Amino acid sequence: KTQIVHIVKIKHSNTKMNVINKIGQAASDAKGKVAQEADKVIKKVQNKRPSGKSSGEPAAEGQRAYLIGGNWKCNGTVESVKEIVKVFNNAGPIPANVEVAICAPSIHLGICLSELRDDIAVGGQDCGVNYKDGAYTGEIGAAQLKDFGCEWVIVGHSERREGFEMAGEDEELCAKKLKVALDAGLKVMFAIGEKKEEREAGTTMVVCAKQLEPAAKLLSEEDWSNVAIAYEPVWAIGTGLTATPEMAQETHKSIRDWVAENVSADVAAAVRIQYGGSMKGANAESLLAQPDIDGGLIGGASLKADFFNVVNGAP
Protein backbone atom coordinates (compact mmCIF):
# COMPACT_ATOMS: atom_id res chain seq x y z
CA LYS A 1 0.00 0.00 0.00
CA THR A 2 2.88 2.37 0.90
CA GLN A 3 4.61 1.52 -2.40
CA ILE A 4 1.44 2.32 -4.35
CA VAL A 5 1.15 5.72 -2.62
CA HIS A 6 4.85 6.40 -3.35
CA ILE A 7 4.39 5.50 -7.03
CA VAL A 8 1.34 7.77 -7.27
CA LYS A 9 3.33 10.64 -5.70
CA ILE A 10 6.19 10.15 -8.17
CA LYS A 11 3.79 10.13 -11.11
CA HIS A 12 2.08 13.25 -9.76
CA SER A 13 5.45 14.96 -9.31
CA ASN A 14 6.58 14.01 -12.83
CA THR A 15 3.30 15.25 -14.29
CA LYS A 16 3.71 18.53 -12.40
CA MET A 17 7.30 18.95 -13.69
CA ASN A 18 6.17 18.16 -17.25
CA VAL A 19 3.51 20.84 -17.00
CA ILE A 20 6.03 23.35 -15.63
CA ASN A 21 8.53 22.47 -18.38
CA LYS A 22 5.85 22.85 -21.04
CA ILE A 23 4.82 26.22 -19.63
CA GLY A 24 8.47 27.31 -19.58
CA GLN A 25 8.98 26.14 -23.14
CA ALA A 26 5.82 27.89 -24.27
CA ALA A 27 6.99 31.11 -22.59
CA SER A 28 10.38 30.78 -24.24
CA ASP A 29 8.75 30.16 -27.63
CA ALA A 30 6.48 33.16 -27.13
CA LYS A 31 9.46 35.34 -26.19
CA GLY A 32 11.26 34.19 -29.32
CA LYS A 33 8.22 34.95 -31.47
CA VAL A 34 7.90 38.40 -29.92
CA ALA A 35 11.59 39.07 -30.66
CA GLN A 36 11.11 37.88 -34.25
CA GLU A 37 8.08 40.10 -34.71
CA ALA A 38 10.00 43.05 -33.25
CA ASP A 39 12.84 42.41 -35.71
CA LYS A 40 10.30 42.34 -38.55
CA VAL A 41 8.86 45.69 -37.46
CA ILE A 42 12.35 47.22 -37.20
CA LYS A 43 13.30 45.92 -40.64
CA LYS A 44 10.01 47.16 -42.07
CA VAL A 45 10.71 50.64 -40.69
CA GLN A 46 14.28 50.58 -41.97
CA ASN A 47 13.16 49.35 -45.39
CA LYS A 48 10.50 52.04 -45.50
CA ARG A 49 13.08 54.64 -46.52
CA PRO A 50 12.62 55.76 -50.13
CA SER A 51 15.26 54.62 -52.57
CA GLY A 52 17.69 57.24 -53.82
CA LYS A 53 19.24 57.56 -57.26
CA SER A 54 22.76 58.30 -58.42
CA SER A 55 24.19 59.77 -61.58
CA GLY A 56 27.57 59.86 -63.25
CA GLU A 57 30.60 57.76 -62.46
CA PRO A 58 31.85 56.80 -58.99
CA ALA A 59 35.25 57.97 -57.82
CA ALA A 60 38.03 56.06 -59.59
CA GLU A 61 40.07 53.61 -57.57
CA GLY A 62 42.60 55.49 -55.48
CA GLN A 63 40.65 58.74 -55.67
CA ARG A 64 38.81 60.23 -52.70
CA ALA A 65 35.01 60.39 -53.01
CA TYR A 66 33.54 63.70 -51.90
CA LEU A 67 31.81 63.81 -48.54
CA ILE A 68 29.06 66.36 -48.04
CA GLY A 69 27.81 66.40 -44.47
CA GLY A 70 24.85 68.39 -43.21
CA ASN A 71 24.85 69.59 -39.61
CA TRP A 72 21.34 70.60 -38.61
CA LYS A 73 22.59 71.74 -35.18
CA CYS A 74 19.78 72.51 -32.68
CA ASN A 75 17.16 73.24 -35.34
CA GLY A 76 13.86 71.86 -36.50
CA THR A 77 10.42 70.82 -35.39
CA VAL A 78 8.82 67.53 -36.35
CA GLU A 79 6.88 69.37 -39.05
CA SER A 80 9.86 71.29 -40.48
CA VAL A 81 12.09 68.21 -40.48
CA LYS A 82 9.49 66.19 -42.36
CA GLU A 83 9.26 69.02 -44.90
CA ILE A 84 13.02 69.23 -45.57
CA VAL A 85 13.15 65.43 -45.79
CA LYS A 86 10.52 65.62 -48.54
CA VAL A 87 12.57 68.30 -50.32
CA PHE A 88 15.70 66.13 -50.21
CA ASN A 89 13.80 63.01 -51.29
CA ASN A 90 12.64 64.86 -54.40
CA ALA A 91 15.93 66.61 -55.14
CA GLY A 92 17.04 64.28 -57.90
CA PRO A 93 20.04 61.97 -58.17
CA ILE A 94 23.20 62.29 -56.10
CA PRO A 95 26.47 62.19 -58.08
CA ALA A 96 28.04 58.75 -57.77
CA ASN A 97 31.33 60.26 -56.61
CA VAL A 98 29.66 62.00 -53.66
CA GLU A 99 28.74 60.57 -50.26
CA VAL A 100 26.08 62.48 -48.34
CA ALA A 101 25.26 62.36 -44.64
CA ILE A 102 22.86 64.34 -42.48
CA CYS A 103 23.67 64.81 -38.78
CA ALA A 104 20.36 65.64 -37.15
CA PRO A 105 19.36 66.54 -33.59
CA SER A 106 18.88 63.30 -31.68
CA ILE A 107 15.13 63.79 -31.33
CA HIS A 108 14.82 63.85 -35.13
CA LEU A 109 17.05 60.87 -35.93
CA GLY A 110 14.04 58.55 -35.99
CA ILE A 111 12.35 60.60 -38.71
CA CYS A 112 15.51 60.61 -40.81
CA LEU A 113 16.09 56.88 -40.35
CA SER A 114 12.54 56.06 -41.41
CA GLU A 115 11.67 58.70 -44.03
CA LEU A 116 14.86 60.12 -45.56
CA ARG A 117 16.03 58.62 -48.86
CA ASP A 118 18.34 55.66 -48.30
CA ASP A 119 21.33 57.08 -50.18
CA ILE A 120 21.76 59.77 -47.54
CA ALA A 121 23.42 58.43 -44.42
CA VAL A 122 22.23 59.58 -41.00
CA GLY A 123 24.40 60.57 -38.07
CA GLY A 124 24.52 62.20 -34.66
CA GLN A 125 26.05 65.56 -33.80
CA ASP A 126 27.97 64.36 -30.76
CA CYS A 127 28.41 61.28 -28.58
CA GLY A 128 29.43 60.55 -25.04
CA VAL A 129 32.92 59.53 -23.99
CA ASN A 130 31.44 56.45 -22.27
CA TYR A 131 32.03 53.05 -23.84
CA LYS A 132 29.10 51.40 -22.04
CA ASP A 133 25.59 52.30 -20.95
CA GLY A 134 25.32 53.64 -17.44
CA ALA A 135 24.88 56.65 -15.21
CA TYR A 136 25.58 59.36 -17.79
CA THR A 137 22.48 61.52 -17.61
CA GLY A 138 21.84 63.45 -20.80
CA GLU A 139 24.50 61.66 -22.85
CA ILE A 140 23.94 59.59 -25.96
CA GLY A 141 26.47 56.79 -26.28
CA ALA A 142 28.22 56.04 -29.55
CA ALA A 143 27.07 52.43 -29.30
CA GLN A 144 23.47 53.67 -28.91
CA LEU A 145 23.77 55.76 -32.07
CA LYS A 146 25.12 52.74 -33.95
CA ASP A 147 22.40 50.48 -32.56
CA PHE A 148 19.74 53.00 -33.62
CA GLY A 149 20.95 52.87 -37.22
CA CYS A 150 23.31 55.84 -37.46
CA GLU A 151 26.44 55.59 -39.60
CA TRP A 152 28.16 58.88 -38.74
CA VAL A 153 28.75 61.23 -35.85
CA ILE A 154 30.37 64.66 -35.58
CA VAL A 155 33.02 64.99 -32.89
CA GLY A 156 34.87 68.15 -31.85
CA HIS A 157 32.66 70.76 -33.47
CA SER A 158 33.87 74.25 -32.57
CA GLU A 159 30.61 75.05 -30.78
CA ARG A 160 31.23 72.13 -28.43
CA ARG A 161 34.93 72.92 -28.07
CA GLU A 162 34.01 76.50 -27.13
CA GLY A 163 31.00 75.62 -24.99
CA PHE A 164 27.70 77.47 -24.64
CA GLU A 165 26.87 78.41 -21.06
CA MET A 166 29.07 75.47 -20.08
CA ALA A 167 32.70 74.41 -20.15
CA GLY A 168 33.97 73.57 -23.62
CA GLU A 169 35.48 70.25 -24.65
CA ASP A 170 39.29 70.21 -24.77
CA GLU A 171 41.53 68.41 -27.26
CA GLU A 172 42.01 65.34 -25.08
CA LEU A 173 38.27 64.84 -24.55
CA CYS A 174 37.51 65.26 -28.26
CA ALA A 175 40.18 62.68 -29.12
CA LYS A 176 38.75 60.21 -26.58
CA LYS A 177 35.24 60.66 -28.02
CA LEU A 178 36.64 60.10 -31.49
CA LYS A 179 38.16 56.78 -30.45
CA VAL A 180 35.01 55.69 -28.59
CA ALA A 181 32.89 56.42 -31.67
CA LEU A 182 35.22 54.52 -33.99
CA ASP A 183 35.33 51.53 -31.65
CA ALA A 184 31.51 51.51 -31.68
CA GLY A 185 31.57 51.13 -35.47
CA LEU A 186 30.66 54.70 -36.41
CA LYS A 187 32.36 56.88 -38.98
CA VAL A 188 33.40 60.28 -37.67
CA MET A 189 33.61 63.81 -39.01
CA PHE A 190 36.32 65.15 -36.69
CA ALA A 191 36.13 68.93 -36.61
CA ILE A 192 39.11 71.22 -36.09
CA GLY A 193 39.76 74.88 -36.82
CA GLU A 194 41.01 78.26 -35.64
CA LYS A 195 39.38 81.46 -34.40
CA LYS A 196 39.66 84.81 -36.16
CA GLU A 197 42.40 86.16 -33.88
CA GLU A 198 44.40 82.96 -34.38
CA ARG A 199 44.09 83.28 -38.15
CA GLU A 200 45.22 86.91 -37.97
CA ALA A 201 48.14 85.95 -35.73
CA GLY A 202 49.29 83.38 -38.28
CA THR A 203 48.83 80.42 -35.93
CA THR A 204 46.19 78.47 -37.89
CA MET A 205 48.27 75.30 -38.21
CA VAL A 206 49.55 75.55 -34.65
CA VAL A 207 45.91 75.42 -33.48
CA CYS A 208 44.92 72.67 -35.90
CA ALA A 209 47.96 70.57 -34.98
CA LYS A 210 47.17 70.93 -31.28
CA GLN A 211 43.65 69.60 -31.96
CA LEU A 212 44.93 66.71 -34.08
CA GLU A 213 47.84 65.55 -31.89
CA PRO A 214 45.83 63.68 -29.20
CA ALA A 215 43.85 61.91 -31.92
CA ALA A 216 47.01 60.86 -33.73
CA LYS A 217 48.27 59.27 -30.51
CA LEU A 218 45.06 57.29 -29.87
CA LEU A 219 44.16 56.09 -33.36
CA SER A 220 45.62 53.23 -35.35
CA GLU A 221 46.19 53.61 -39.08
CA GLU A 222 43.14 51.40 -39.64
CA ASP A 223 41.01 53.75 -37.54
CA TRP A 224 41.71 56.63 -39.91
CA SER A 225 39.84 54.89 -42.75
CA ASN A 226 36.62 55.84 -40.93
CA VAL A 227 37.61 59.43 -40.15
CA ALA A 228 37.02 62.58 -42.17
CA ILE A 229 38.71 65.75 -40.93
CA ALA A 230 36.30 68.69 -41.03
CA TYR A 231 38.33 71.90 -41.17
CA GLU A 232 36.13 74.69 -39.85
CA PRO A 233 37.58 78.16 -39.59
CA VAL A 234 35.57 79.28 -36.57
CA TRP A 235 35.48 82.88 -37.80
CA ALA A 236 33.56 81.76 -40.90
CA ILE A 237 30.90 79.60 -39.21
CA GLY A 238 27.49 81.21 -39.42
CA THR A 239 29.01 84.64 -40.08
CA GLY A 240 28.65 84.67 -43.84
CA LEU A 241 32.42 85.09 -44.09
CA THR A 242 34.20 82.48 -46.16
CA ALA A 243 37.83 81.82 -46.83
CA THR A 244 38.69 82.19 -50.49
CA PRO A 245 39.14 78.87 -52.26
CA GLU A 246 42.89 79.55 -52.31
CA MET A 247 42.99 80.25 -48.55
CA ALA A 248 40.99 77.12 -47.80
CA GLN A 249 43.18 75.00 -50.10
CA GLU A 250 46.33 76.27 -48.41
CA THR A 251 45.09 75.16 -44.98
CA HIS A 252 43.76 71.84 -46.26
CA LYS A 253 47.13 71.13 -47.86
CA SER A 254 48.89 71.99 -44.59
CA ILE A 255 46.58 69.63 -42.69
CA ARG A 256 47.28 66.82 -45.17
CA ASP A 257 51.01 67.45 -44.87
CA TRP A 258 50.72 67.30 -41.06
CA VAL A 259 48.91 63.95 -41.28
CA ALA A 260 51.62 62.62 -43.62
CA GLU A 261 54.35 63.60 -41.15
CA ASN A 262 52.57 62.55 -37.95
CA VAL A 263 50.44 59.56 -38.99
CA SER A 264 51.50 58.18 -42.38
CA ALA A 265 51.69 59.08 -46.04
CA ASP A 266 49.05 56.47 -46.86
CA VAL A 267 46.57 57.92 -44.38
CA ALA A 268 47.29 61.43 -45.63
CA ALA A 269 46.58 60.40 -49.22
CA ALA A 270 43.31 58.69 -48.31
CA VAL A 271 41.78 60.85 -45.57
CA ARG A 272 39.03 63.21 -46.68
CA ILE A 273 39.26 66.80 -45.50
CA GLN A 274 35.98 68.71 -45.57
CA TYR A 275 35.63 72.47 -45.56
CA GLY A 276 33.19 73.78 -42.98
CA GLY A 277 33.26 77.56 -43.24
CA SER A 278 29.87 78.67 -44.58
CA MET A 279 29.93 76.53 -47.72
CA LYS A 280 26.74 76.94 -49.76
CA GLY A 281 25.50 76.48 -53.28
CA ALA A 282 26.98 79.79 -54.46
CA ASN A 283 30.58 78.91 -53.51
CA ALA A 284 30.62 75.12 -53.39
CA GLU A 285 31.85 74.56 -56.94
CA SER A 286 34.92 76.78 -56.58
CA LEU A 287 35.80 75.33 -53.16
CA LEU A 288 35.31 71.71 -54.18
CA ALA A 289 37.47 72.24 -57.26
CA GLN A 290 40.53 72.60 -55.00
CA PRO A 291 42.72 69.45 -54.92
CA ASP A 292 42.73 69.03 -51.13
CA ILE A 293 39.11 69.95 -50.41
CA ASP A 294 37.17 66.68 -50.38
CA GLY A 295 33.75 67.90 -49.35
CA GLY A 296 32.01 70.11 -46.86
CA LEU A 297 30.39 70.12 -43.46
CA ILE A 298 27.39 72.34 -44.08
CA GLY A 299 25.46 74.18 -41.38
CA GLY A 300 22.63 76.55 -42.28
CA ALA A 301 22.45 75.59 -45.95
CA SER A 302 21.81 71.94 -45.01
CA LEU A 303 18.36 72.96 -43.75
CA LYS A 304 17.39 74.26 -47.19
CA ALA A 305 17.00 73.02 -50.73
CA ASP A 306 20.33 74.81 -51.41
CA PHE A 307 22.05 71.81 -49.76
CA PHE A 308 21.65 69.91 -53.00
CA ASN A 309 23.38 72.72 -54.89
CA VAL A 310 26.38 71.92 -52.70
CA VAL A 311 26.00 68.19 -53.36
CA ASN A 312 25.88 68.85 -57.09
CA GLY A 313 28.81 71.27 -56.92
CA ALA A 314 31.35 68.45 -56.77
CA PRO A 315 33.43 68.11 -59.96
> Could you tell me the CA-to-CA distances from 90 to 30, 53, 145, 308 in Å, in that order?
42, 10, 27, 10
* Residue 268 to residues 92, 96, 261, 275, 287, Cα–Cα distance (Å): 33, 23, 9, 16, 20
Cα(70)–Cα(207) distance, rounded to whole angstroms?
Answer: 24
Nearest to 118 by CA among 160, 80, 89: 89
In sequence order, which ranges of the chain are alpha helices (DSSP H)?
2-47, 78-89, 109-115, 142-148, 158-162, 171-183, 196-200, 204-218, 245-262, 265-270, 281-288, 307-311
* CA nearest neighbour of 95 among 288, 291, 244: 288
Sign of CA dihedral 62, 51, 223, 158: positive
Residues 71, 103: contact at Cβ < 8 Å?
yes
Catalytic status, residue 12: no
* Set 99, 169, 194, 232: catalytic member: 232
State the chain's maximal CA–CA distance in angstroms.
105
Of the candidates 188, 192, 280, 178, the one whose C-alpha atom is nearest the C-alpha of residue 238 is: 280
Measured CA to CA, the distance from residue 277 to residue 125 in angstroms comes to 17
Determine whether 232 is an active site residue.
yes
| Alpha-carbon span 175 to 154, nearest angstrom | 12
Q: Which of 99, 157, 159, 198 is catalytic?
A: 157
Distance (Å) of CA 230 to CA 144, 278, 293 = 23, 12, 10
The span from the CA of 103 to the CA of 188, in Å, is 11
User: Which residues are annotated as catalytic?
Assistant: 157, 232
